[in-house]
Each structure stands twice: as C-alpha cells, then as structure tokens.
Structure 1
Amino acid sequence: MTAVRPLGPEQRAQAWADLAAGDFEVLVIGGGVTGAGVALDAATRGLKTALVEARDFASGTSSRSSKLFHGGLRYLEQFDFGLVREALHERDLAVNRIAPHLVKPVPFLYPLTRHWERPYVTAGITLYDALARFGGLADPMPAQKQLTRTGARRLFPALKPESLVGAIRYYDAQADDARHTLTVARTAAAYGATVLNSAEVVSFEHAGGRVVGAKVRDVETGNEVDVCSEVVVNATGVWTDDVQTLVGGRGRFHVRASKGVHIVVPRDRINGETGLILRTEKSVLFVIPWGSHWIVGTTDTDWELDKAHPAASKADIDYILEHVNEVLSVPLTHADITGVYAGLRPLLSGEQESTSQLSREHAVARPMPGVIAVAGGKYTTYRPMAADAVDAVAEDVTRRVPPSVTENIPLVGAEGYAAMVNSLDGLSDRWGIPRFRAEHLINRFGSLTPEVLDLATDAPELLEPVPGAEEYLMVEMVWSAAHEAALHLDDLLARRTRISIETPHRGVESAEPVARAVAGVLGWDDERIASEVESYTARVEAERRSQEAADDQEADAARVAAPDTRAVAVGRALG
C-alpha cells in the first residue's frame, strides 16, 4: 500500500480539483460500505476511481446495523446456504486477514426453550460451523458447545431459569460499522481513489445513448463540477430507485426499505458474559455486548417515510423491551436506555408481503449503458458485492480489467496490528496513558495508533478524555477532523465515535468541547462553533421526541423537524 492519505481540509480541496480535472473510469455514488467497497475494488484493479457521498461516509444504513459480521444463522431455515457460506467466509476473512483490528470474535448463546429443540438447533449450528470451515481460513472460530440450563446461566446469569432448558454457545464476530466503512473508504484513497463526502450528484451527463458522467455539488459551498466517467456505479442502498429516476429510464430491480431499530443500555443492566440470539414471531432478536454497553435489537418493518433520518417510535422500543424482557430476570425499562438508533435495510423487492422474508442476496444490473447498479446483500458481504459490481464495470470500460484482489488487501491499520498489540505496554508507557486506553485506540486505529497519538506531542491536553464521554480521548476528535474527513459535529459524535448512542446525554455535554477542539483544524470561528452545537442539540432533541411518538408517522414528523447540517437536495439524501 502507498502512504495512507489524510482526508482533511487540504486533501478535500485537492480532491475537488481532481474531480473537476480528471477523466475517471469509475464514478461510484454512495459512501456506505458497498460504495466504499466498490471504490476499493476498482482502485486496486488499477481503475481511475472516484467515490462521492452526499452526506457523510456511513451516514445511512452502514452506521445503523446490528454491528455484526455474521453468516446469518436464520437464513439456514430459508435454505440460503450459498449466502450463509459466503457471509461466513467474509466474516473469517475480516477477522483473520483484512481487518483484525476492527472485526472481533464474539460468543453467543442460543437459548433452548424446549428439549426437542436441541437436536434441531444443534444440526443448524453444526451446519453453520461446517460451512465456515469448508474451504475456510486458518484459525476458525471455536466450535459450538452444548450447555445445560445451569451452564447457560453461569455464562448469562440474567436469564430467567424458566426461560430456557439449556443452550448452545457458538461464535460470530462484530465491528463498529461506521468506523469499518470509513476505513474501507480510506483504504480506497490509499490506493489512489478520489474520495469525497458532502458531494452530491445532482444530474447525469448523457451522450450517444449512454451516461458519460455526472454533475456533483459541494454540499458545503454549493459549488458544482462536471465529472467525466466511463461508468457510473449506483451504490446508494435505499436510494437506489431515487438515483435511477435521476439517471432516467427504468431500473432492472427495485429496493424496498425495512426499518431496524436498536436500543443501547449500560453493561451493568444485564448480567451476562456472551451475546444472546432470541427467536421472535417475526425474526430474531440479538443482545450484543458492546464495550461498556449492550446493543439490543432489532425490528423489521416497512418504511416509506424520510430515508435520511429514519425514526424510532415508542412502539418500536416497546417491541424490543417486551421481547427481551421475556427472558431477563430483571426487566429493562425505558429509563435504562442510553441510546436508540434506527436504520434502513436495502432489500431487493420481491413478491413476499413481509420484509423479514425478503432475500438478503444482492443483485448487480446494467440498467442503461454507462450505469451499473448494485443493491441488496448484507453488511458482511460488502466485499463480494463490490467485486461483482466491478466485474460488471469491466464490460463497459475501454481497457482490460484484471480480477478482484481485495481478498488479499488488508484495510488501513491492519498491517502491523499484531505487532502493535504486542507493544501495548510500551505505547502506554510512552504516552502516559492507561493500558486500557492504549488498547481502545489500537482496536479503532490499528497500526496507525502512534500517528494518532503523535498529535498530542505538542498538545498533551489532547490525551484528556472527552468531557461527558470518557471512553474517548480528545486526540481522537482532532485526528478525525484532520485525517478522517469529519466536517460536522454530527460526524464526530455519531460516526467517528459512537458518543451519540453511548451516553445518557447523547453527546450534548460533549458537543461544545469537541467543537472547540477541532475548530482550528476545520477553520471554525465562534459563530460556526455555536451553530454546530445548536444543530447537534436540535438533532438529539428531535430524536428524543420521535422516540416518544406513538407510531411511524408521528416519529417521522418529529425527527425531520430538526434542521439538517447538510442541505442535500435530491430526495433529501443520497447518503
């Protein structure tokens, strides 16, 4: 890999100049994990590539998932063996080779409610493990373990004794989805891709019956540039149909949005050492360990309202609490909830009435010459989705395109990660920070951690915790502004870190100190600092109101009432 390029204000200005001046072979629209994956795949095949995102990287679905890298145990019941096998391979690839600093194994319990379930569930998890091992990588996940009721409650004392007769422990993996997506985009930039957020496609250029580029608007300034490209890739998830309408003509497939809501509660509210997977009448419910918190979710309902800011209603939260409390000896209440987030799954539209029954397979199509659309799939399988999309791109560009190589491309921070872990004590001593803080940084930045800490060489105050969010250091905020394309307070508190869902105040107490810390990097004066804090506070207040609303319509009305930091014109978002 070439040197890791910072994505800061200077590089942003250069990227806009490159966008206006260059004839690209591939222009990718959409900065979620799929679009970032397409940009990385294309760049590592030697294609001149640009990636544009109307809002922020991972601002849509890719920051609002269950944060799991998993095969999808429930898809075995739908006989989607190919999908499960592919996802398990990607899970193990991420853990072992591509992103070991970001993607970590995590144990789960599958509680059994009837004795007759054990052989059935055992067969399913045995197949799950076998699919992972078939042609798999070295260092597979630990095999399943059969547990009695007593053994299960030893690992998860919070379970009601009467809620299970036994359990099976198995392993999957998890990651901070927003940080992972950003890292994929940064890796694409390291391999030469021009990468921009707050860059909205407002129209497409046509010539000779094909698309030959697009007009891209800088959401921050309003300036527009014309971008020439041999192929445009529509990787906009739930906005796929909106972008196709902008292109003109009919799409080859349609995308249906399914809302998934999660709640976040402090770790001490549930006494357990593993995750849980619970069956519901509609789908499954996960209880996932998340640092000093638990993530509990998800719901699965149709959503046809605002796509940029899907809102969780009180009904959604009540559904999650009702189902998780069926198995917890000490029930969770609304007062226990630290954070709530809602995301939209981009499902390929089918004949079924229920979104929970729609396939998580992905599709790639060429709706018109010069345009490739990719949609569907699941977060874990972003890499093969991207490879398939670039395979389709290869048919439209003027030169031969080699096969995908991303299976062997570590993400930024992965190279040297193991050595960095072995140097934890030295890192801790060098900077005078506790070992747990050094470990926290390494599991977010990998081998780039010394560069992050170098920002504090002449500013030791940056090694202080973020006010109101002591799990993070102020140096992380400045690094995100200088190197990770953060342009707004919302980017920093909701995606570069997860303060917006991990603190009872949801980031409001941290907002002004963080804004002042990054002001020098981003060129903010006192007026801009006040504006950013005000906008962020309004976002939090709107989300809280939406979560008290009775239904989707009321929740949506409450959420969209907050002013938007990015004035995106098309369909309120292409993020």
Structure 2
Amino acid sequence: MLSNQSEVPSLGPIQREQAWDQLQKNEFDMVVIGGGVVGAGTALDAATRGLKVALVEARDYASGTSSRSSKMFHGGLRYLEQFEFGLVREALHERELSLTRLAPHLVKPLRFLFPITHHLWERPYIAAGIFLYDRMGGAKSVPAQKHYTRAGALRLAPGLKRDSLVGGIQYYDTVVDDARHTMTVARTAAHYGAVVRTSTQVVGFLREADRVSGVRVRDVEDGRTAEVRAQVVVNATGVWTDEIQALSRVRGRFRVRSSKGVHIVVPRDRIVSDAAIILRTEKSVLFVIPWGSHWIIGTTDTDWNLDLGHPAATKADIDYILGHVNTVLVTPLTHEDIEGVYAGLRPLLAGESDETSKLSREHAVARVAPGLVAIAGGKYTTYRVMGQDAVDLAVDDIATRVASSVTERVPLVGADGYFALVNQTVSLGEQYGLHSYRIRHLLDRYGSLIGDVLSFADGTPELLAPITDAPSYLQVEAVYAAAAEGALHLDDILARRTRIAIEYAHRGVNCAEQVAALVAPILGWDAATADREVANYCARVAAEIESQQQPDDEAADALRAAAPESRPELLEPVPVSTPVQT
C-alpha cells in the first residue's frame, strides 16, 4: 500500500472485517503472533521489505508488557555496571533514531537528576558511567552530563531531603507513551500493507509434512475460526512465548521467565522537582518520572508464575516503592496520594541467574522448526532491532528473495510534518477553536494525524469538549480510538488509547458511561452491550483496587483473575507442560 500521511488506514470496524477475509483468502509470506511492540515492529520490518505479512493479537495492541513499562526509551544506564556495553550502545542508537526521526511526536527528551549520596568516590564513579553513556550516543541530541553541588541539586529538585544527597549529576533520557507508541507501530505496518487484527487468538498451528505452514485463529469477539497460511510464522508473544511454543508442539530453543514490575502514579504537586529522579536500591533502581500532571514511580522486580494476562500488584509491592522513595522525599507519600497503579511482566531469557533482576535484557531469536521462528527478551527501546533480527532469520523459510531492512529510515505515522505543525500550534488552535496547550497535547499524541483526529468533530463540535471526568482528553479522542485505532472495548480506550485508567483516582469508572455512549454507534453496541462494557470495566477496576490491598501475589492474583474478561471468547493458553516433539 502506497499512501501519503493523510491516507493512513483506519483500524476501525470495517477494516477489521476486511482483515478477517484477507486472513482466510491470502497466503502470506509471514504471520506474526503478538501485538506487543516486538510483534508490531516485526510486522513493520517485514511489510517495508515488500513481504506479504499478517499480524494477529489475542487481546489488544500493547495489552501486555508493552503498555506497562516505565515509559522510557532509554539506553539502560544501570546495565553499564553489568558490562552490557553492546546492549547500551544499541539501545542509545535506537533512542536517538526515535527521538529525532522515527517518532519525535511520541518520544520526548527527559532531564534526570542522579543524586550523589557519598562523598569522594561516588561522584567520579557515576560521572565516569554517565560519560561513557554520553559517548556511546546518549548526548547526541540532548545535553551532556552536568554536575551540581548539594545546593544546586536541591534547587533543581526541592522536594528531596537535604540529608538525602551531597550533590547530583544531571543527564538526559527520554519518555514515551508506550501503549500509543506500540499501536502506532502496528498502524504504520498497516500503512505499508500488513494485515493487522486484534482479538484474534492463535489456537493451533498448520503443518505440511515436517514444517509449520500457518496458524489456526479464533475471533475472540464472536468465536469464528479461520486458517491462515504462511511460509513462516514468527512467535513474538513475549511472556507467552513458552505457551505458544507448547501449542506448536515443537521444543523451543530458549525459555522465558516473567518478572513483575509495579509502578504507582501520584499527582505532580506531591513531589517538587524540575527533573526526573533516579534512585539506587539494594536490588536495582527506582525511577521517578514526570508524566503530564503526574509522577510515575517504579519499579519492582520480582518473579511471577501466575496469570500472565493480568499480573496483580500487591500491598507489599506498593509499600516497597513508597518505602524507598520516601527515604529521599521532604514530604512522604502515602497510599492516599496514589491515583493509579499498574503491574507489568518483563519477558526475560531464563537460565542465566536465579534472580530476575540479573536475567538478560538482551534478546534471542531462533528457528525452532522449519517455518517457525521465535524471538524473546530484549528491551522496549530495541524493538526495531528485534523485529529486524526476527525477519532476517525468518527469510530462510521464504522462497523469494527478500530485501534488507529499511525501518531505520521509515518514520512512524504521525512523524512526518510534526516539527512544522509544532511551529503552527497557535494558528492550529485558532483554526479549531482550541487552546494552544490542547493542540500541543494532541500533537504529542497523534503528530501530523491531528487533522484526522479533529475531523471526527466536523458537524459535531461538542466532541471538542473534554471528557467530563477526565478533562485531559477530548471526547473526539475516544471516538477516534474506536474509529481509527482499533479499540474494541472500554478497557482498550481507557487503559491504552488514553491513560485515564492510571491518571485519575477514579481510574476511569466515573467516565465509563460517557465514553461508552460516545463509541457505541461506531462499534455497533446496543444499550445492553454498552451496559455490559461499563459493568465489566468497573468490575475490573474494583478487582484491581482490592488486589492492591492484598499481602502476596497469590491473594492478589485470585482477586484479579476473578474479574470478567472484556473479550468473551478468549481461551486459556496451552500449559507449558504439554509434550512436544524434539
């Protein structure tokens, strides 16, 4: 598909039905399983090489790990201490690409303060690490490190206790809305011809003799099934890698362990600082990240062996975060300050350490059988490289000659023209009758697709009003999420297309009915369906809040797992103990 920026395909109900037909009728060069950032990046890489590719996701884009990160495109400063220089250099290169070329509308510079807590040795030690970080590529488009005395550091971050530091070092990384970024990668893949479809669960593999020749899929909205044929299948399912591997009945080349990371969200006025803060803990590091009118604080790093679809935060997790951040804050945070909590699972390559914090963040890719490739591990920041590596290996199973990767030079949809539109913020505000801060907010979410978004308010200007109980977002954004961004359920809109679920104390409950009414005509919901969506969403939020008061993972998981699933036909994955062929 060749199109300009204004012709980016809408991932709406019509496209969804067309995609189902295409999945059944076409024979693809490649089918990618998994709509997280790695799966979306793999589909984009394949599509831009001229391959006929399909991407299927059982739930929603970024519904797993890719919407629950620390919200950073970063090189991984702490990995320097583990001597993973190659990983850091690669990640910084990818950070620079996204910041300047691939996704400048989504990836933004972020100033950090590293508090120095020991005299004499710590400043030269940390400064040497940050110097190496900057020289590896960390200071190409952002300032290099800057040193502060205690007084200077406290002017930058007055919310820190005076006795919690003896000085500080400033350096830069970036911040990103991970869920929107992942969806945008998938939409860019569709822009270049990929057939992409959510709520489409792989329930089996097709075979011809000894090779995998496709997948059997199930529409988890209505129970329909179809066979999708392809020369090669790529398993890019993250923490579900082992489950999909078991479903294929072929022994894998590596195993994946899940590490749970929990973050809390508090109002911006609870911590007075002009910079993000990075704190060392006994196990890892703790980030305090500015996020609009909030701070995101995390993360934990603990083994998780329970429900992969809905990892649950516990009171112990939250207490751990509060306990560590409060050691440095003038005004301690309490549970009452918390407006949002989320838990995600990192897919770590197993077998290298008994501690999840020491498992590899590097990725692995393997041809596990003729026609089947698996990729796992890695960092969010290196998704593009992971996609490229997966396709590079998968081409051995594709009969025709395949071009080299070009994604290093392919901006995501919304990137082209973004910088020019930023310079036109005031005039755009006058054109649409919106304050300039609203325009900038929209540009930083949609980039040059802003006109497409606001066009949904043509003839219905009331859609340019804010969502009543989530005024950071316009009503038209909810409409656009359903009409053009593939959202099928309230959870998709409130938790991922917007971040209402973590940015407001009501976690989306107070605006669920309004948003359901806005999208019902687009998604074909009758009154009963809309009521069910609201009830399911509210039950999910209630279960999460209750689980966050439990003392351990087992109790929290039991409560969270009891909440209704928004996708009614979703099947439980095959247990990893299923016998496989060697």
TM-score normalised per structure 2: 0.97
2:156 and 2:275 in contact (8 A); partners too: yes
Aligned pairs for 1:153-232 (under 5 A) are: 153-232=154-233
Check the 8 A contact 2:29/2:53 in 1, yes or no.
yes
Gaps of at least 5 residues in structure 2 are 577-582
Given that 1:256 and 1:346 are in contact with CA atoms closer than 8 Å, whether structure 2 keeps it comes out as yes
Structure 1 pair 243–349 and aligned structure 2 pair: CA distance change class (3 A): same
User: Where does residue 58 of structure 1 map in the other structure?
Assistant: 62
Q: Deviation of residue 572 (structure 1)? A: 8.6
Output the CA distance in 2 between the equivalents of 1:568 and 1:294: 34
- How far residue 351 of structure 1 moved from its aligned partner, in angstroms, is 3.2
1:280 maps to 281
**Contact 2:239–2:256 (CA under 8 A) maintained in structure 1:** yes
Residue pairs, 1:93-104, within 5 angstroms: 93-104=97-108
Report the secondary structure of 2:347's partner residue.
strand
- Provide the residue aligned with 1:303 in structure 2: 304
Residue deviations 1:21-42 (CA, integer Å, cap 9, x gap): 0000000000000000000000
Q: Relative to structure 1, is the Cα distance of residues 572 and 423 closer, same or farther in structure 2, using a 3 angstrom cutoff?
A: farther
Residues 189-220 of structure 1: CA deviation (Å, up to 9, x unaligned): 00000000000000001111000011111111
What is the one-letter code of the residue matched to 2:375?
A: V
Task: Tell me the alpha carbon deviations over residues 123-154 of structure 1, each in whole angstroms, 9 at most, x when there is no partner.
Answer: 00000000016xx9xx5221000011111110
* Residues 243, 575 of structure 2: 8 Å contact kept: no
Distance 2:232 2:286 in 1: 40
Cα pair 1:219 1:568 within 8 Å, conserved: yes
Residue aligning to 1:570: 572
Match 2:92 to one of 88, 95, 98:
88
> Can you list the C-alpha shifts for 1:363-416, whole angstroms capped at 9, x where unaligned?
000111100000000000000000000000111100111110000000000001
2 CA distance for matches of 1:103 and 1:360? Answer: 21
Which letter maps to 2:129? G
Amino acid at match of 1:476: E
CA–CA distance in structure 2, aligned partners of residues 385 and 573 of structure 1:
26
Q: Distance in 1 between matches of 2:200 and 2:436?
A: 39
Q: Give the secondary-structure state (helix, strand or coil) at the position aligned to 2:158.
A: coil
Distance across 2 between alignment mates of 1:249 and 1:429: 60
Would you say the 8 A contact 2:247–2:574 is kept in 1? no
- Dislocated runs of 4+, deviation >3 Å: none
* Corresponding residue for residue 137 of structure 2: 132
CA distance in 2, matches of 1:522, 1:568: 19
CA distance in 2, matches of 1:520, 1:529: 10
Letter in 2 for 1:290: W
Trace 1:336-485 onto structure 2 (pairs within 5 A). 336-485=337-486
3-state secondary structure, aligned to 2:346: strand
Q: Quick one: which amino acid aligns to residue 317 of structure 1?
A: I
Instruction: State the shift of 1:419 in Å.
Output: 1.1
Partner residue, 2:579: none
Q: Displacement, 1:570?
A: 3.4
Give the conservation status (yes or no) of the 8 Å contact 1:467–1:510. yes
Q: Is the 8 A contact 2:264 2:318 kept in 1?
A: yes
Segment drifting more, 46-55 vs 454-463? 454-463
Aligned equivalents of 2:23 and 2:352: distance in 1? Answer: 41
Structure 2 CA distance for aligned equivalents of residues 314 and 233 of structure 1: 38
Q: Does 1:113 align with 2:117?
A: yes
Deviation at 1:48, TM superposition (A): 0.2
Q: Return the alpha-carbon distance in structure 1 between the equivalents of residues 575 and 167 of structure 2.
A: 47
Partner residue, 1:34:
38
Secondary structure (helix, strand or coil) at the match of 2:152 reads: helix
Query: Do the aligned partners of residues 197 and 164 (structure 1) sit closer, same or farther apart at CA in structure 2, a change above 3 Å counting?
Result: same
Deviation at 1:9? 0.4
Q: C-alpha distance in 1, partners of 2:208/2:261?
A: 40
Change (3 A) 1:59 1:572: farther
Amino acid at match of 1:422: N
Identity %: 63
Query: Equivalent residue of 1:253, what SS?
Result: coil
Task: Using the TM superposition, give the Cα deviation of residue 431 of structure 1 relative to its aligned residue in structure 2, in angstroms.
Answer: 1.1
For normalisation by structure 1, the TM-score amounts to 0.98
Q: Secondary structure at the match of 1:365?
A: strand
Aligned residues of 1:63 and 1:177 also touching (Cα < 8 A)? yes
Secondary structure of the structure 2 residue equivalent to 1:107: strand
Contact 1:54 1:573 in 2 (8 A): no
Distance 1:207 1:8 in 2: 34
Which residue identity lines up with residue 13 of structure 1 in the other structure? E
Describe the superposition over 1:411-434 as per-residue Cα deviations: whole angstroms up to 9, x where unpaired.
Answer: 000001011111111110011111
Aligned residues: 570
8 Å contact kept, 2:12–2:486 = yes
Within the alignment, does 1:70 sit opposite 2:74 as a pair? yes
CA distance in 2, matches of 1:406, 1:498: 28
Determine the C-alpha separation between the residues in 2 that align with 1:399 and 1:570: 36
Name the SS of the counterpart of 2:265 in structure 1: strand
- Aligned residue type for 2:360: S
User: C-alpha separation between the residues in 1 aligned to 2:165 and 2:337?
Assistant: 24
For the residues of structure 2 that align with 1:352 and 1:226, how far apart are their CA atoms?
A: 40
Whole-Å separation in 2 of the counterparts to 1:573 and 1:28: 21
Q: 2:10–2:484: 8 Å Cα contact kept in structure 1?
A: yes
Cα distance in 2 between the residues matched to 1:553 and 1:356: 21
**Could you tell me whether the CA contact under 8 Å between 1:308 and 1:573 is conserved in 2?**
no
- Secondary structure of 1:287's partner? strand
Contact 1:55 1:573 in 2 (8 A): no
Partners of 1:438 and 1:320 in 2: how far apart? 35
- Say which SS state the counterpart of residue 571 (structure 1) adopts: coil
Deviations 1:214-242 (A, max 9, x none): 11111111101111000000000000000
- The one-character-per-residue Cα deviations of 1:430-459 (angstroms, maximum 9, x if unpaired) are 111111111100000000001111111110
1:234 corresponds to which residue? 235
Superposed CA RMSD in Å reads 1.1
Measure the CA separation in 1 of the matches of 2:65 and 2:391. Answer: 21
Say yes or no: does 1:9 pair with 2:13. yes
Equivalent residue number for residue 580 of structure 2: none
Whether the 8 Å CA contact 2:256–2:376 is kept in 1: the answer is yes
Deviations 1:468-519 (A, max 9, x none): 1000000000011000000000000000000000000000001000000111
Paired residue secondary structure (2:454):
helix
